[in-house]
Amino acid sequence: MTPLNPRDPAVAGRREVIEAWRRDLKQEAPWAYKDVFPVVESLRSAEVAQPVAELRPVLTVNGRGARTAPPGG
C-alpha cells in the first residue's frame, strides 16, 4: 500500500479517497481498542499475573505496507 499524502493536489480533490483515508485513521486510532483493565484485573485477582506498569498508547501503526529493516540493519 502506498502512503497517502492528503495535501497532494491529485489526492485532495478525490473526496472518496480522503473519506476512506479518514475512516481508516479512525479505525487505527489508539482509543479504538478495548480497555485492557478488566483482563488485567481478572489475571491479578486469579493470582496469575501481577501488573507492574501501565502503558498508554500514543500511536498505532498498521502493518499494511509497513517496511521493516533487514536483520542487523
Residue 9 CB burial class (10 angstroms; 0-12, 13-18, ≥19): exposed
Averaged over 14-28, what is the pLDDT?
A: 77
Averaged over 32-50, what is the pLDDT?
A: 88
Q: What is the pLDDT of residues 27-38, one digit of tens each?
A: 666 666 778 889
Between residues 67 and 29, the one the model is more confident about: 29
Confidence of residue 46 (pLDDT cuts 50, 70, 90): very high
Distance between CA atoms of residues 9 and 29, nearest Å = 25
Domain boundaries, the chain: 9-45
